[in-house]
Amino acid sequence: MHDRVDLVKIYECLCDRTRLRLLNVLAQGPLCVCHFQEILREPQVKISKHLGYLRTRGLVAYERQGNWMVYELPAKPSRELRANLACLQDCARENPVFRRDLARLEKLTPKFAETSPCGCRPAAKTTAG
């Protein structure tokens, strides 16, 4: 089925600051690359590479929507992954960097709803009135 992700692989994915930030933001819902760029304020290569890293190790799923690549957490994460993502969530709650990212996400969500036809944010359900 969904490839077995063992513990060490999970921790390898978690031991980079950028990847932690990506996962933290992803916990709020699917998002596409350009939005990550805006939220983390990191260059495209960096975002894309780290998402690739997570992708090849099964920590994120992705789906193409036209030009956009929409990333999301796996639908059926392993027990280990679920536990560790929950733990990360817990730890991130008090961390200024993670909180800032989430604040930016919140702030940018309406803008994303307008500019991106990919519907990668739930709020993007506005039928472009």
Partner DNA sequence: GATTCATATTCCCGAATGGGAATATGCATG
Partner DNA sequence: CATGCATATTCCCATTCGGGAATATGAATC
Q: Which residues bind its own copies (CB under 8 A)?
A: 7-8, 11-12, 14-17, 20, 79-80, 83-84, 86-88, 90-92, 94-95
Q: How far apart are the first and last CA of the chain?
A: 42
Give the residue with the Cβ less far from its own copies, 12 or 42.
12
Shortest spacing between CB 22 and its own copies, in angstroms: 13
Give the residue with the Cβ less far from DNA, 3 or 93.
3
State the binding partner of 24 from DNA, its own copies, none, CB within 5 to 8 A by kind.
none
Shortest spacing between CB 20 and its own copies, in angstroms: 6
* 16: DSSP letter: S
Whether residue 22 contacts residue 47, with contact meaning beta carbons closer than 8 Å, is answered with yes
Strand-pairing partners, residue 31, are 71
Q: Minimal CA–CA distance to 52: which of 35, 33, 29, 39? A: 33
The span from the CA of 61 to the CA of 50, in Å, is 13
Shortest spacing between CB 1 and DNA, in angstroms: 23
Q: Which residues form the interface with DNA (CB under 7 A)?
A: 12, 15-19, 32-34, 37, 42-53, 62, 64, 66-69
The span from the CA of 95 to the CA of 97, in Å, is 6
State the binding partner of 109 from DNA, its own copies, none, CB within 5 to 8 A by kind.
none
